[in-house]
Amino acid sequence: MGIPVETFFLKQGVQGTLQARIQQMIAEGILSGRFHVGEKLPSSRRLAAHLGVSRITVTLAYTELLANDYLTSRGRSGYFVSENAPIPPSYTPAQRDQETVDWSRAIARKFTGGDTLQKPADWRSYRYPFIYGQADPTLFDHANWRLCAVRALGQKDFASLTADYVDQDDPLLIEFIARHTLPRRGISARPEEILITLGAQNALWLAARVLLNRRRKAAIEDPCYYALRELLIQSRCSLVPLRVDLDGLPPEAIPDDTDVIFTTPSHQSPTTATMPIARRHALLERAREIDATIVEDDYEFELAFLGAPSPALKSFDQDGRVIYVGSFSKSLFPGLRLGYMVGSEPFIREARALRSLVLRHPPGHIQRTAAYFLSLGHYDAQIRRMSSVLLQRRQEIERAIARHGLTIAGRGAYGGSSLWMKAPTGVDCGALAMSLRSESVHIEPGTTFFSGSDRPTNYYRLGYSSIPTDRIAPGIERIARAIERHAD
């Protein structure tokens, strides 16, 4: 591809003749790696007109660069970056002169420094990746997703692809979620009670911003999804972590002055505990008593291969106090960034206005592609395929764990894609994970999920959604051996 003439500017305040400055400008483009071998330069006529210099000046500069082997010419077809030019392997712009802004003062709010989980970018190169929440290419229905994407790119859908929806959503996707997805969870909702979000993370963030401020109190599960805790810390509300038990969040532990309760009844994150129906009713009753709202993160409900999942908490909600968060990240793929929230109209109206300020709306093409994938039945087929494979992997991982005497601290009653594990007291799972890397095993240390200063370090999470079934047993064996070494 040609180098666009618009990328050439003569720097102000530089010494030298016009010709020398043009030569230097081109040489700098080459030396910094900005121009690649074989790329074509603008014609001398075009460059001269663009820079407002005479054509002979540009021609002389080109001739000089030709002599220095920065450029080659191919007869009448023009000038190209030479194969012999000294080009670095990647583009590295010159460092700016000393910057004078004091960023420690200029930055009004800090967002770095919170808890994050280190997911290795190269996890695909691990032989035993017990990673959580990444897509398995062997399970994804690539061909049909592609067909749906192409269909959503068709002329007929041009408007839905390209339009500025301002604060609206793709009506096709909303209709499908209302008619098919939510009924699976026992939920009925009108379109004005549904908002499409950029994944569940975005839904949780929107809910926190609308429902919380400095004077409000939020109850969270402990342990919980660390990114939820981080965004609540940023909202500056006061935060009460409540230790979960084998049935999830205990309603009686919720303080009287709580305004918002964040909970994961289907699969507690990260322990995978399933909240029994009776406790769901008790939780709603407790919320009514203290007039709190509830944000229900119903992630992974689709991966129910051990039994039918319980209806969502939201399905029992007569008062309208539950805000329901769903996501396609686990069942389709996380890079999709598509989720949704369901709540009473006054709440959704504020969340929609906030979303509009922050990002307007999720991209139209992605919404339409998902709508097709869902409505043509590919999604259901995909879930069935994933479920049958995850069932095999779950059985395999439980067998291997039993064989090596490892301790399961939590497992989803009707499925899921991970197990919550406990190592012997004294084992630091951060160090354990680090040392397992050298054996090409990836596990997730559990410490960051806990709140407070005295966090347990002997928990870890084993995802089984991205590891081939036949790698599970040898992977677990390596983990067991490593735990023995670390327990010494």
Considering only residues 237 through 276, tell me which ones interact with its own copies, judged by CB under 8 A. Answer: 259
Region near its own copies per CB under 8 A, out of 204-212, 399-407, 421-429, 474-482? 204-212
101 interacts with its own copies by CB under 8 A: yes
Alpha-carbon distance 35 to 288, whole Å?
A: 65
357 interacts with its own copies by CB under 8 A: yes
Answer for which of 77, 100, 425, 453 binds its own copies (CB under 8 A) is 100
Mention every residue, 6+ apart, whose C-beta is less than 8 A from residue 170: 160, 196, 364, 367, 368, 371
Main-chain phi, psi angles of 125, to 5 degrees: -85, -5
Answer for which of 77, 112, 425, 453 binds its own copies (CB under 8 A) is 112
142 interacts with its own copies by CB under 8 A: yes
Q: What angle do CA 169, 171, 175 make, to 5 degrees?
A: 120
CA max distance for the chain: 86
Answer for which of 38, 255, 346, 426 binds its own copies (CB under 8 A) is 346
278 interacts with its own copies by CB under 8 A: no
Q: How many CB atoms lie within 10 A of CB 403?
A: 12
Main-chain phi, psi angles of 211, to 5 degrees: -95, -15
Specify whether the backbone of 426 is left (phi greater than 0), alpha (psi in -120 to 50) or beta. left
Q: Which is nearer to its own copies, 218 or 483 (CB)?
A: 218
Binding to its own copies by CB under 8 A, coded x per residue (else -) over 7-36, reads x-x-------------------x--xxx--
91 interacts with its own copies by CB under 8 A: yes
Answer for which of 75, 89, 164, 452 binds its own copies (CB under 8 A) is 164
Answer for which of 45, 156, 243, 288 binds its own copies (CB under 8 A) is 288
404 interacts with its own copies by CB under 8 A: no
216 interacts with its own copies by CB under 8 A: yes
Residues in 307-326 that interact with its own copies by CB under 8 A: 308-309, 311, 315, 318-321
Burial class from Cβ neighbours inside 10 Å (0-12, 13-18, 19+) for residue 100 reads exposed
Alpha-carbon distance 206 to 220, whole Å?
A: 16
Is residue 316 within 8 A of residue 280, CB to CB? The reply is yes
Q: Which is nearer to its own copies, 134 or 263 (CB)?
A: 134
Least separation in angstroms between residue 466's CB and its own copies is 11
Torsion sign across C-alpha atoms 432, 426, 115, 269: positive
183 interacts with its own copies by CB under 8 A: yes
> Could you tell me how many residues of this chain bind its own copies (CB under 8 A)?
129
Residue with tokens 């069942």: 331
Answer for which of 137, 255, 424, 426 binds its own copies (CB under 8 A) is 137
Region near its own copies per CB under 8 A, out of 97-105, 238-246, 423-431, 434-442? 97-105
Specify whether the backbone of 148 is left (phi greater than 0), alpha (psi in -120 to 50) or beta. alpha
Answer for which of 363, 430, 456, 468 binds its own copies (CB under 8 A) is 363
Least separation in angstroms between residue 223's CB and its own copies is 19
Burial class from Cβ neighbours inside 10 Å (0-12, 13-18, 19+) for residue 238 reads middle
Main-chain phi, psi angles of 363, to 5 degrees: -55, 135
Q: Which is nearer to its own copies, 350 or 398 (CB)?
A: 350
109 interacts with its own copies by CB under 8 A: yes
Region near its own copies per CB under 8 A, out of 370-378, 388-396, 415-423, 472-480? 370-378
Kind of pairing, strands 260-263 and 217-222?
A: parallel
43 interacts with its own copies by CB under 8 A: no
Alpha-carbon distance 292 to 12, whole Å?
A: 62
140 interacts with its own copies by CB under 8 A: yes
